[in-house]
């Protein structure tokens, strides 16, 4: 991390990072769902599953979060995404697993525990595993099922959300291969 990075604050979160092929497959679904829900699809490169949102963090906190990444369980797993929906009080469309694998639950729980032990706030709402497909949706989609997309999850990342002229892009600050 450069001295300039240490001084500025970044908006950060932990996520399952998809490989390029999975992002492309999710992108096809995102564009179809955005059309159906009257929204804007998330660009392929930004498709991920958030494990924990941290918010604004300075260089010192980012270093602490990088260390947390290294403590997470290293067990790859398959995630079958097959349920499409929208949140009741939101304009987001998502895809989620019909059954959340135990490895994902354990990973998210271990992360929440590590964040709590480090004195960081942890989301009080129950974890809802999903990938956001579209934003600004004008029509709701409720519990639709599609042919399952199998994602071989092999990577967790600490990502920073960087706003630019072409929208938001994510930059990896730390990562962990689960394999």
| pLDDT, tens digit, 9 for 90 and up, residues 32-69 | 999 999 999 999 999 999 999 999 999 999 999 999 99
pTM of the model: 0.90
Query: Topology of 3-76+101-124+153-177 in CATH?
Result: Cyclic Phosphodiesterase; Chain: A, (3.90.1140)
Q: Which helix (H) or strand (E) holds 65?
A: helix 59-70
The pLDDT confidence band at residue 124, using thresholds 50, 70 and 90, is confident
* Residue 125 pLDDT exceeds 90: no
* Residue 7 pLDDT exceeds 80: no
Q: CB under 8 Å to 80, separation ≥6 — which residues? A: 97, 98, 99, 148, 149, 150, 151
* Residue 143 pLDDT exceeds 80: no
Question: What proportion of the chain, given as a percentage, has pLDDT over 90?
Answer: 79
Q: What is the mean pLDDT of residues 106-122?
A: 93
Sheet holding 144-153, edge to edge: 40-41, 131-135, 93-97, 77-86, 144-153
Q: What is the mean pLDDT of residues 88-108?
A: 93
Question: In angstroms, rounded to a whole number, what is the distance separating the alpha carbons of residues 117 and 137?
Answer: 37
DSSP state of 127: P
Q: State residue 97's pLDDT score.
A: 96
**What does the domain layout of the chain look like in residue ranges?**
3-76+101-124+153-177
Q: State residue 1's pLDDT score.
A: 47
């Amino acid at each position: 991390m450069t001295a300039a990075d240490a001084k500025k604050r970044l908006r950060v979160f932990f996520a399952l990072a998809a490989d390029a092929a999975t992002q492309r497959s999710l992108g096809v679904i995102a564009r179809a769902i955005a059309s159906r829900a009257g929204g804007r699809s998330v660009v392929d490169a930004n498709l991920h599953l958030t494990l924990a949102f941290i918010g604004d963090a300075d260089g010192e906190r980012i270093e602490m979060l990088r260390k947390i990444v290294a403590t997470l369980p290293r067990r790859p797993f398959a995630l079958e995404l097959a349920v499409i929906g929208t949140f009741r009080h939101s304009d987001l469309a998502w895809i989620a697993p019909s059954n959340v694998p135990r490895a994902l639950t354990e990973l998210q729980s271990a992360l929440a525990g590590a964040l709590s032990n480090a004195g960081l706030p942890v989301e009080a709402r129950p974890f809802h595993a999903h990938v956001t497909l579209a934003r600004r949706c004008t029509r709701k989609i409720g519990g639709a099922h599609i042919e399952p997309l199998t994602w071989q999850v092999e990577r967790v990342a600490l990502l920073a959300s960087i706003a630019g002229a072409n929208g938001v892009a994510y930059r990896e600050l730390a990562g962990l291969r689960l394999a």
